[in-house]
Amino acid sequence: MALVSRLHAKRKHLKIFVKRAYEDATPKDGYRVLVDRLWPRGRSKEILALGQWARDVAPSAALRKWFGHKPARWEAFQQRYRLELDVEEQQQRMRSLLTEAKGQPITLVYGAKDEEHNQAIVLRDVLSHLPEESKR
């Protein structure tokens, strides 16, 4: 089986979880990635137990400020954030994140209070459907 086919097969079975930065890390989390532009208040590097801080794949500062975690803006936020993630540079960053996880489960860590309306939810979906390489 070719390497690309094996990677695609692994991705199909990849587990991607979403977890608040204020919940304790567990071994089941696998590769933990902070997906906020801002560091969560009161949390140390040791407590967060991160594999990486992927601040560049977080929503832009302008989008984050516009959204303000207002549920009424959720649909528009998702569309705008997906557009930000749809550029080649972001696609490459996300592919790198998947590669660095080395097949482990991935937990996207975020600081927002709202567990239903946050960037990690959108990013989880985008990562789950990310093509192996750009078709542009």
Quote the tokens at residue 35.
């997906």
**What 3-state DSSP class applies to 111?**
coil
- Percent of the chain whose predicted confidence (pLDDT) is above 90: 84
What is the reported pLDDT for 12? 58
- Residue 3 CA to its chain's centroid (Å): 24
pLDDT digits (tens, 9 = 90+) for 56-83: 999 999 999 999 999 999 999 999 999 9
CA neighbor of 107 nearest in space, from 8, 45, 28, 3? 28
CA distance 65 to 101: 30
Give every CB contact of residue 126 below 8 A, 6+ residues apart in sequence: 82, 85, 94
Quick one: how far is CA 73 from the chain centroid? 20
User: Each residue of 25-34: pLDDT tens digit?
Assistant: 999 999 999 9
Q: What is the mean pLDDT of residues 23-50?
A: 96
Q: What is the pLDDT of residues 109-126, one digit of tens each?
A: 999 999 999 999 999 999
